Chain A
Amino acid sequence: MGRLHLAPQALVCKNTILEGDIRIGNGTVVHIDASIIAKNGPIIIGSNNIISDRVRIINNHTTPLVIGDNNQIETDAVIEGRGIGHKNVVQVRGKVVGTSTLGNNCVVGVMCETEPAENVPDNTILFGNPQSRRTRSDNNAEYLEVHNKHLQYVHEMLPRYNAIIGAE
């Protein structure tokens, strides 16, 4: 049942846990020790995402878990919801729990969580301890430039030091 479909330019390390029905788009990088487990339903990951080490993307629902494009999911984050949009950042140990979704241009701060069943609107920032949220007022214009540089760097350096799954 485990079908893994990698786009030609996707960069997935061998030391990852990939189970179930997974599709990974062009340019996406999956670092070491990440787990993408499509337990009850498929996981569809878009293009140019950066999925860092120790990230757990688990689909406990039968509906597909959809991750958009240009997201950055940092170390030890957990994505268990129904999906996230584009250009989001889930920071270190941030969590998208339950059946929640993230819109576009959101930031889940360090060690911050979404509510168990909410659709976080676009441009929302979750931050702080105790956690609070606010809406960003810029249009996230500077994000892509830095993100693409990051992607470029990783595509260059990661294969030198880690075993990569050959694309089919």
Chain B
Amino acid sequence: MSSELDSGSQLGVLYYCPCSGCMRTTDAPVKASKQKREFAELAEECRAPLDISTQEQLAVLRTWPIEKLYYCDDCSEVRCPHCVIEEPAGYHCPNCTFDVPTASVRSEKNSCARNCFHCPVCTHVLVVVVVESTQGDGGQSCSVLSCAVCMWDSREIGWEFETSTGISAQIERMRTGGPAVKEYASLLDYWRTVQRTASATAAGNHGLTSSASFKHRLTSAGLHGSTTSVDNLPPYKAACYVDSGAELTEDFKALEDANMIPFNGDPRTKEPQRVRLHMKLSRRCRMCHHILIKPESKAHNSRFKIQLLAANFLPTITFPKTLPAPKARGSLLEHLNTTPLRVGSTAPVVLRFTNPLYTEMDVSVDVGELDAAQTDVLAPRFTLPPFAELWEYDEDEDDSSLASPSASSSGRGSVKRGIIHQHGNQIAIQLDVTPRAQTQKLTIPLCITCTHLDDMAEMDTSDTSTPRRIVNTFWAYVSLGMVN
């Protein structure tokens, strides 16, 4: 039982994207002939004398489950997350879901400008509550930031606010009202006046305004004897700070002793941090800059305006556990893909292909060279019917059972060998896998070529009578789990 569970959890299909992951924007979109060449190159790559473990290790960087892949319908190519360009489509606060306009993002330093803060103790989001004030004579209500998880309060750092909205603005006002900031502002004003006076008097001489030559001009300006010379300016009077008479210390510490000096830490770490904004990203094809993914820019809306996914253009390959049998047989095809793999014995593996398109798709499956196992694809070429409403489908054709692959069916026409089941836009085919070596994870490379007719008319060409054929070739790595 446990081996069944193990092999079941290791079954998977990964799709390979042949991009190199670098910016190749000068490349033209790939045409059909180039695809054939790429296919030949890829086939060569696969037949190169690399053992499967090295190949696997290299390919893992470029293999993705189909849910992660995009598809550019302009280039008719698969795009992976490495070969798309991401750009922001909107900014919002994850806490208050407020959509922040792009202009405010920069000015607010990528943080929420409203009441969203993280608790300094437990990093949970803080809530504004109205409490009794500890300052004054009590009984006055004020707003504080409080954490519901660790019961931290902004009263612990002395933050109490008058109103419950616009906390960020009130914090800014608190910060700018401190004595250090006031002192700095008045110092700046004083020296600006000095500079103006000095440059006014020295304007005739040099016209220099560099601060390095300040001292020189201050001393020399007095020689000109103008009424508003710098020497006549009153000296600077401290706005807030009082000279405490402290002296410079003679006690210098060596650099190695620096660890012994107690460090109280940045006081800002005890303060609540603003919540950082989140971005919504839209993605473009790296080659033709066609938009592949475009989300709605509103935060609460999780839909997409444009959504070009690989699963909507390429067949999805899955491992079915059971398949519903047609009404004629009345039974259920069960216990598919549960045979444990052993060296030397042939196990049937069932893969189900699902066609997402509204047109027919011709699929051909080829196996890459593999030393670890021999794979026979019993049905190398088949046609997937288009996706349509359920009542439009014809009667199912349940073909060759697993016991007798060459039996002809009792129903209609000749049956394709190797097709286990066909329903709607899905076909399940059988592969016979004979492992040759023991391994933890057996992976079979399959080269899959899908061809379909483009049902949308070409914009440029005036000739709309011949729709173009689109051929997509990709490698899929099918993991089958452990081989005993």
- Interface bits A99-113 vs B (CB < 8 Å: 1, else 0): 000000001010000
Stretch in B103-111, B145-153, B351-359 touching the partner: B145-153
- Bound form: Cα–Cα A127–B119 in Å: 13
Count residues on chain B whose CB falls below 8 Å from chain A CBs.
11
Contact A138 B155 (CB under 8 A): yes
Contact A107 B151 (CB under 8 A): yes
Contact A142 B131 (CB under 8 A): yes
Within 8 A of B (CB), among A82-136: 107, 109, 125, 127-128, 134, 136
Would you give the shortest CB distance from A63 to chain B, in whole angstroms?
A: 30
Contact of A137 among B132, B149, B155 (CB under 8 A): B155
Tell me which of A109, A127, A141 has the highest count of chain B C-beta atoms within 10 A of its own C-beta.
Answer: A127
Contact B155 A127 (CB under 8 A): no
Per DSSP, chain A at the interface is: loop
Contact A109 B132 (CB under 8 A): no
Interface assignment of B32: CB less than 8 Å from any CB of chain A: no
Contact A127 B132 (CB under 8 A): no
Contact B149 A109 (CB under 8 A): yes
Would you give the shortest CB distance from A94 to chain B, in whole angstroms?
A: 13
Contact A137 B156 (CB under 8 A): yes
Q: Which residue of B lies closest to A89 (CB)?
A: B151
Contact of B150 among A127, A138, A142 (CB under 8 A): A127
- Bound form: Cα–Cα A133–B132 in Å: 26
- Interface bits A140-155 vs B (CB < 8 Å: 1, else 0): 0110000000000000
- Interface bits B138-176 vs A (CB < 8 Å: 1, else 0): 000000000001111101100000000000000000000
- Interface bits B105-128 vs A (CB < 8 Å: 1, else 0): 000000000000000011000000
- Bound form: Cα–Cα A136–B122 in Å: 13
**A125 neighbours in B (Cβ, 8 Å):** 150-151
**B150 neighbours in A (Cβ, 8 Å):** 109, 125, 127-128, 134
Contact A136 B131 (CB under 8 A): no
Would you give the shortest CB distance from A64 to chain B, in whole angstroms?
A: 30
- For the A-B complex, the count of residue pairs with Cβ-Cβ distances under 8 Å equals 26
Would you give the shortest CB distance from A61 to chain B, in whole angstroms?
A: 30
Contact A134 B121 (CB under 8 A): yes
- Bound form: Cα–Cα A128–B121 in Å: 10
Tell me which of B121, B151, B156 has the highest count of chain A C-beta atoms within 10 A of its own C-beta.
Answer: B151
Contact B153 A127 (CB under 8 A): no
**B149 neighbours in A (Cβ, 8 Å):** 109, 127-128
Would you give the shortest CB distance from B137 to chain A, in whole angstroms?
A: 16
- Bound form: Cα–Cα A141–B138 in Å: 13
- Bound form: Cα–Cα A127–B149 in Å: 6
**A142 neighbours in B (Cβ, 8 Å):** 131-132
Contact B122 A128 (CB under 8 A): yes
Would you give the shortest CB distance from B404 to chain A, in whole angstroms?
A: 58
Contact A141 B132 (CB under 8 A): yes
**B121 neighbours in A (Cβ, 8 Å):** 134
**B156 neighbours in A (Cβ, 8 Å):** 137
Would you give the shortest CB distance from B191 to chain A, in whole angstroms?
A: 43
Tell me which of A109, A136, A138 has the highest count of chain B C-beta atoms within 10 A of its own C-beta.
Answer: A138
- Bound form: Cα–Cα A137–B153 in Å: 8
Would you give the shortest CB distance from B154 to chain A, in whole angstroms?
A: 11
Would you give the shortest CB distance from A14 to chain B, in whole angstroms?
A: 34
Within 8 A of B (CB), among A40-89: none
Contact of B153 among A107, A109, A128, A138 (CB under 8 A): A138
A127-B122, A128-B122 are known contacts. Are A136 and B151 too (CB-CB below 8 A)?
Answer: yes
Would you give the shortest CB distance from A138 to chain B, in whole angstroms?
A: 6
- Bound form: Cα–Cα A128–B147 in Å: 12
Q: Which residue of B lies closest to A140 (CB)?
A: B151
Q: Which residue of B lies closest to A138 (CB)?
A: B153
Would you give the shortest CB distance from A158 to chain B, in whole angstroms?
A: 25
Would you give the shortest CB distance from B50 to chain A, in whole angstroms?
A: 45
Q: Which residue of B lies closest to A125 (CB)?
A: B151
Q: Which residue of A lies closest to B150 (CB)?
A: A127
- Bound form: Cα–Cα A134–B121 in Å: 9
Would you give the shortest CB distance from B332 to chain A, in whole angstroms?
A: 41
- Bound form: Cα–Cα A139–B298 in Å: 42
Would you give the shortest CB distance from B316 to chain A, in whole angstroms?
A: 38
**A127 neighbours in B (Cβ, 8 Å):** 122, 149-151
Q: Which residue of A lies closest to B121 (CB)?
A: A134
- Bound form: Cα–Cα A156–B152 in Å: 33
**B151 neighbours in A (Cβ, 8 Å):** 107, 125, 127, 134, 136, 138
- Bound form: Cα–Cα A66–B150 in Å: 26
- Bound form: Cα–Cα A137–B157 in Å: 11
**B155 neighbours in A (Cβ, 8 Å):** 137-138
**B122 neighbours in A (Cβ, 8 Å):** 127-128
- Interface bits B218-256 vs A (CB < 8 Å: 1, else 0): 000000000000000000000000000000000000000
Would you give the shortest CB distance from A122 to chain B, in whole angstroms?
A: 13
- Bound form: Cα–Cα A13–B131 in Å: 35
- Bound form: Cα–Cα A147–B156 in Å: 24
- Bound form: Cα–Cα A109–B148 in Å: 10
**A136 neighbours in B (Cβ, 8 Å):** 151
Would you give the shortest CB distance from A96 to chain B, in whole angstroms?
A: 18
List 6 A-B residue pairs with CB atoms under 8 Å apart, sorted by A's residue number. A127-B122, A127-B149, A127-B150, A128-B149, A134-B150, A134-B151
A-B contact sample (7 more), CB < 8 A, given A127-B122, A134-B121, A134-B151: A107-B151, A109-B149, A109-B150, A128-B122, A136-B151, A137-B153, A141-B132
Q: Which 5 pairs, one residue from A and one from B, show the smallest C-beta to C-beta distance?
A: A127-B150, A136-B151, A125-B151, A137-B156, A127-B149
